[in-house]
């Protein structure tokens, strides 16, 4: 039997970096947006080569308008109550949505083999030539690449095609120059024309001056948008910030021969409100998140990944695959009473190696992004339909994390008052 492999240990004195790592992970910058079709710019279907049937498509060139999404969420005895404030359409998102074979390796510069869209089955896809434009002039943009999956679902007798996807920022300009970050989306799609999804962008270790620790003036008074329900696809979104439960330390899991399986994790969830804007000078990005001081939920899961596998080092070309098992989220009202539970595993995730300048960590820090549909519930959420997505920051040693979760409830009656 081979000698068990163990993760590298920090040199003497390194343990004091735990607090510093927490501060780094919690210092991420977030942009939360809702993406709808861009008015006046139709999406373009990508036909199946050699087919004369116009309904035979392999994807689409997508053009979306992205609006700032700010959520005020309360969790009470009746479940979630989320009020959405939606900004003006100054930002945009374009990408090629391309179906892909199940066993094909996804690469930023490789077109997948032509794969016919089947709306009745779950399929893999890639997001190629991703461009996110923060301003109308296109002076602050980033390029990226992502992968995802479709989920055909029936809600209240209506057939819907849910989509989840995650990706990596490859390059940027303006406020996105030289940043490292990821994105994850969660929503619905009716190819090739209609799209509605929440897009959560996370920037790690932003440069000094990019973030704000104070609420952004003007956004606090922003009123709930008229027609927000339509812009949100008829459902609702909630955001939670997850942190380690100090009463249940993170436990790394290994196989008998020493290969790392991942970790058993318990997180405490707090309701969080995300804000951002582009400064008046057009060259600075301000962001703020406000966290409620009471525990809204507890998430228990088994994360499955191996950060020491040399074949998946966490680069854009070879991201680290990850998933979760046995995930249960228990929700509480402000008095601590259980209101119900939701099961929701991440069934497709990608991990990207993160670096922090000046931080001599001897073991990997990963930016994990992933998604997965709900898998049942209890109590107030016994009939809940929806999807979870997460944009996470995870340190292997010291073992800590700071995870931003989005829950999309597919219809207003499935978990909100």
What is the pLDDT, as a whole number, of residue 280?
74
Most distant CA pair in the chain, distance: 68
**Average model confidence (pLDDT) across the chain:** 86
With residue 23 as reference, give the H or E element that holds it. Answer: helix 17-26
Beta partners for residue 279, in sequence order: none
33 cis-preceded (ω within 30 degrees of 0): no
CA separation for the pair 144, 392 (Å, rounded): 18
pLDDT, one tens digit per residue, over 268-278 is: 999 999 989 88
**Of 89, 83, 53, nearest in space to 70 by CA:** 83
Spatial contact of 393 and 28, defined as CB atoms under 8 Å apart: yes
Residues in CB range of 281: below 8 A, 6 or more apart: none
Q: Is the pLDDT of residue 128 over 60?
A: yes
Terminal Cα distance for the chain, rounded: 57
With residue 343 as reference, give the H or E element that holds it. Answer: strand 338-343
**Of 383, 26, 30, nearest in space to 182 by CA:** 30
pLDDT, one tens digit per residue, over 150-204 is: 999 988 888 899 999 999 999 999 989 989 999 999 999 998 888 999 999 999 8
CA separation for the pair 289, 391 (Å, rounded): 15
What is the pLDDT, as a whole number, of residue 89?
77
378: tokens are: 């209890």
Q: Per this entry, what is the length of the chain?
A: 417
Residue that wins the pLDDT comparison between 388 and 39:
388
**Of 234, 242, 291, 261, nearest in space to 391 by CA:** 242
Q: Note if the pTM is more than 0.85.
A: yes
Beta partners for residue 321, in sequence order: 350
pLDDT, one tens digit per residue, over 305-344 is: 999 899 999 999 999 999 999 999 999 988 899 999 999 9
């Amino acid at each position: 039997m081979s000698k068990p492999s163990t993760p590298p240990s920090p040199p003497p004195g390194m343990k004091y970096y735990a607090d510093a790592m927490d501060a780094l992970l919690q210092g991420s910058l977030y942009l939360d947006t809702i993406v709808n079709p861009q008015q006046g710019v139709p999406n373009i279907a990508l036909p199946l080569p050699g087919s004369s049937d116009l309904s035979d498509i392999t994807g689409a060139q997508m053009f979306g308008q992205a609006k700032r999404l700010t959520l005020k969420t309360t969790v009470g005895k009746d479940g979630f109550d989320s009020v959405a404030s939606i900004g003006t359409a100054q930002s945009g998102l374009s990408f090629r949505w391309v179906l892909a074979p199940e066993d094909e390796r996804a690469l930023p510069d490789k077109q997948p083999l032509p794969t016919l869209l089947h709306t009745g089955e779950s399929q893999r896809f890639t997001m190629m030539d991703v461009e996110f434009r923060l301003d109308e002039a296109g002076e602050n943009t980033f390029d990226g690449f992502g992968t995802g999956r479709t989920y055909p679902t029936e809600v209240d007798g209506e057939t819907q095609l849910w989509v989840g996807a995650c990706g990596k920022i490859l390059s940027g300009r303006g406020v996105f120059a030289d940043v490292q970050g990821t994105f994850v989306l969660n929503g619905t799609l009716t190819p090739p024309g209609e799209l509605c999804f929440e897009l959560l962008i996370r920037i790690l270790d932003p440069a000094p001056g990019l973030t704000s620790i104070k609420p952004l003036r003007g956004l606090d008074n922003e009123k709930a948008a008229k027609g927000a329900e339509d812009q949100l696809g008829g459902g609702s979104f909630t955001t939670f910030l997850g942190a380690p439960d100090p009463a249940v330390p993170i436990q790394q899991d290994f196989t008998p021969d020493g290969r790392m399986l991942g970790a058993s994790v318990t997180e405490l969830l707090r309701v969080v409100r995300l804000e951002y804007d582009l400064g008046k000078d057009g060259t600075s990005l301000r962001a703020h998140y406000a966290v409620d001081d009471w525990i809204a939920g507890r998430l228990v899961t088994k994360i499955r990944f191996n950060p020491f596998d040399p074949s998946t080092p966490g680069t854009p070309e070879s991201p680290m695959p990850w998933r979760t098992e046995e995930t249960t989220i228990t929700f509480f009202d402000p008095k601590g009473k259980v209101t119900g539970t939701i099961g929701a595993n991440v069934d497709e995730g990608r991990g990207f190696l993160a670096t922090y300048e000046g931080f001599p960590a001897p073991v990997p820090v990963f930016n994990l992004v992933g998604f997965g549909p709900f898998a049942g519930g209890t109590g107030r959420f016994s009939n809940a339909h929806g999807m979870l997505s997460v944009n996470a920051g995870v340190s292997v040693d010291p073992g800590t994390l700071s995870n931003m979760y989005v829950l999309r409830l597919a219809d207003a009656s499935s978990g909100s008052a």
